[in-house]
Structure 1
Amino acid sequence: MSSERPRQPLPFEPAKSRKKASKAQSQSAEPETTDKPPVRATRKTREKTSAQPAPKRSTQREETAIPEVVSQRMLSRMAILSGVPLFMAISIFVGSYFIIVNEVFILPNTAVFLASLGCFGLSVLGLSYGIFSTSWDEDQTGSLVGWQEFKLNLGRTVQAWKDARRESRAKIKN
């Protein structure tokens, strides 16, 4: 008998892949002489297997991760550029409530809606601009406004999208 244990199918695997996996195993492994049905993994066996140390992360994932310095810069820019318009949008709701309740003047609902919607939209744009206007180089902090960094990073992103589209089209043709 082989020293490797047969692979136990996961409970959520589709039936087709189970059949393919079992055929592949039966061809590669020596045939078993017992007529016992395969045993499903119980909670105890799952706990035993989960207690084993997890495999180390691949170096490719670590190489593609955003450096801590850059992510902190992005986070601070995003908090400012998105937080200020978000605070304005919430303030519009509170201010309009105060104006309507105290009958300072008549305020149409559409004005409140459009003003707050505009501020929420600026908040979303602030998130994107906060990411792209940050210098992605660890050693350079970049400028205060970040317009040069924005153009550079957006160009890099667009080029990466074009390359990915070109690669996917090449895979489809082959």
Structure 2
Amino acid sequence: MSDRLPFEPSGKGKKKKLEKQSDRPAPPASKTNLQIPPEVNSRIVRRMALFCGIPTLCGFATFVVSYVIVINKWFELPNTAVVLVSMAFLGTGVLGLTYGALSASWEEDRVGSWFGWQEFQQNFGNLREAWKAQRQGTGSS
């Protein structure tokens, strides 16, 4: 597979290699090819902060806004509506964590698009292929 990322494991004979290497001490982290490059890592963290942070802040702001509305008696707010709205925002924040990680470009030299939909499709496809390969590898032993 020629389009592998530099830190992506090959998956071929992975189980046998792990069994053989279990007697030896692990190599230092700086010498393994499984590290995420710092540029990619910071890109992922920024996207996760954006796509998770905004909905999470809105989820907490729901309580503050509803408190102000109820205290000033602008209109009646059912407690369940406040809870459901805040849960929807907080749930969106959890999904934003996943989307933030998968929508970032995993290539060091390519930043990717602002919203990252193409990167998400590519990275999610890579993730699904890895899951399938892992299932086939564990199912045959």
Q: TM-score range by the shorter chain?
A: 0.7 to 0.9
Structure with greater contact order relative to length (CA < 8 Å, sep ≥ 6): 2
Number of residues of Structure 1 aligned to a counterpart in Structure 2: 117
Structure 1: runs of 5 or more not aligned: 1-53
Distance 1:84 1:103 in 2: 28
| Structure 2 partner of 1:110 | 80
Deviations along 1:16-39, one digit per CA (max 9) or x if unpaired, are xxxxxxxxxxxxxxxxxxxxxxxx
Structure 2: runs of 5 or more not aligned: 1-24
Residue of structure 2 aligned with 1:100, choices 56, 66, 70:
70
Q: Secondary structure at the match of 2:108?
A: coil
| Structure 2 partner of 1:84 | 54
Q: Secondary structure at the match of 1:83?
A: helix
Percent identity for Structure 1 against Structure 2: 42
Question: Stretches of 4+ moved more than 6 A in 1?
Answer: none
| Structure 2 partner of 1:57 | 28
Structure of greater Rg? 1
Give the drift of 1:99.
Answer: 1.1
Distance 1:124 1:58, change over 3 A: closer
Residue of structure 1 aligned with 2:94, choices 104, 109, 124:
124
State TM-score, norm by structure 2: 0.78
Residue of structure 2 aligned with 1:156, choices 126, 132, 139:
126
State TM-score, norm by structure 1: 0.64
- AA in 2 matched with 1:147: W
Distance 1:105 1:58, change over 3 A: closer
**RMSD over aligned Cα, in angstroms?**
1.7
